[in-house]
Structure 1
Amino acid sequence: MTQALPNLIDLDEFLDWYPDGYGRFELHDGVIVEMQPTGTHEQVGGFLGLKLGVQIDQKNLPCFIPRQCIVKPVNAAKSGYNPDVIVLDWDAIANEPLWNKRSTITRGETVRLVIEVVSTNWQDDYLIKLAEYEKLGIPEYWIVDYLGLGGRRYIGNPKQPTISVYQLVDGEYQVSQFTGNDVVVSAAFPDLNLTAEQIFRGGRK
């Protein structure tokens, strides 16, 4: 859902406008977009947040999962993304100029992992955010396409539910893909031990 405003706004105006504790919004080229995920979408994202949180706690990792935060793309004054799940580095957060007042990330090295769960606007995840997260230098990016909505050039033909894990190698993303009973391999969380199908089901037995 796109919010109808008289003029395009920049990220500062968006952050001033953002309603505290209500809804999830992103800014795309000056236009506010309200994120309206389905229940299944939230089950998948919530399950991943839970399992990653357990890993962080059990292994005493120096990172955390914020309830919400905005990721500012490089050289983009009119955009800001609100990932479904993001894992941030406790030490690197001190170098974020907008974190304390705006809960906004501007540096890729602050992020351990970012996850987008695909909705009907799959082009945002596979095209726009993929390119922007790569430019920002985020080391690991997951696209969790639990309904197999993405274009065939991204998830193959015939299309099927797929998890695409992008690892930053020499400044460029290299992708590994997982379906069905494949165990998802993550450099950020090597002991996670979840199959793609478990994630698609949101952990439901």
Structure 2
Amino acid sequence: MTVATKKLSFAEYLQYDDGTDTVYELVKGKLIPMSLGTGKHSGITKFLERGFDDAIAKIVENWTTQRFAVGVRSPRGGRWDTSRIPDIVALPIPQWESLANREAVIEFNEPPPLLVVEVVSKSTQTTDYRSKRSEYAVLEIPEYWIVDPLQDVITVCTLVEGFYDATEFRGEESIISLTFPELALTAAQVLGD
């Protein structure tokens, strides 16, 4: 659903306040309200965030994962701006700390996050598989997970020469992540099956 307003610049988006608690993505200058999501959606993101945090502790990296807290400014054709808010973002702690006193949006001229995750819902299915996959590849995000409880599949997209190679994981298959090699999770565990 798109909010019926004039198109906004990125600067206007950062200042936008409609007096509600609604969180918006900016897509080609249009405000797109983010739905609250189902309990399963929230459960998946919390489970993954904990799993990533455990894997970070094992590999002793100075990284953090954040749920629904970091925007990623995204290039799109035309003159209107886009800024996505992934379900989970993994990034170095110094980069996270650099967002402390400004809008928590990773800009074009900043290093990309290490990994982003989108959990698919009926309303975001096409966007998660197509638009965001293209946008995140252009931003050179090394790894993009599409967690799809509707089709019981997790697609891990790994950046290779500017494009994503995708590997699907189902059921009891162990998920393979180049970013988190110590992650010991199956698709069924993540999807709550």
Task: Judge same fold: TM > 0.5, yes or no.
Answer: yes
1:38 is aligned to 38
In the TM superposition, 1:37-186 aligns within 5 A as: 37-67=37-67, 68-74=69-75, 77-91=80-94, 100-107=101-108, 109-120=111-122, 121-148=124-151, 161-186=152-177
Question: Aligned pair count?
Answer: 187
TM-score, structure 2 as length reference: 0.86
Structure 1's unaligned 5+ residue stretches are 149-160
State whether structure 2 residue 183 is matched by structure 1 residue 192: yes
Alpha carbon RMSD of aligned pairs, Å?
Answer: 2.4
SS of the equivalent of 1:102 reads coil
**Offset, 1:180:** 0.7
Identity in percent: 32
1:93–1:46 Cα change, 3 Å: closer
More deviation in 35-44 or 176-185? 35-44
Residue-by-residue CA offset, 1:152-174 (whole Å, 9 max, x unaligned): xxxxxxxxx11110101122111
Does the aligned pair in 1 maintain the 2:75–2:82 contact within 8 Å? no
Whole-Å separation in 2 of the counterparts to 1:109 and 1:143: 21
Q: Look up the equivalent residue of 1:105 and give its one-letter code.
A: I
Structure 2's unaligned 5+ residue stretches are none
Superposition misfits of 4+ residues, deviation over 6 angstroms? none
Does the aligned pair in 2 maintain the 1:109–1:139 contact within 8 Å? no
Does the aligned pair in 1 maintain the 2:75–2:81 contact within 8 Å? no
Does the aligned pair in 2 maintain the 1:89–1:110 contact within 8 Å? no
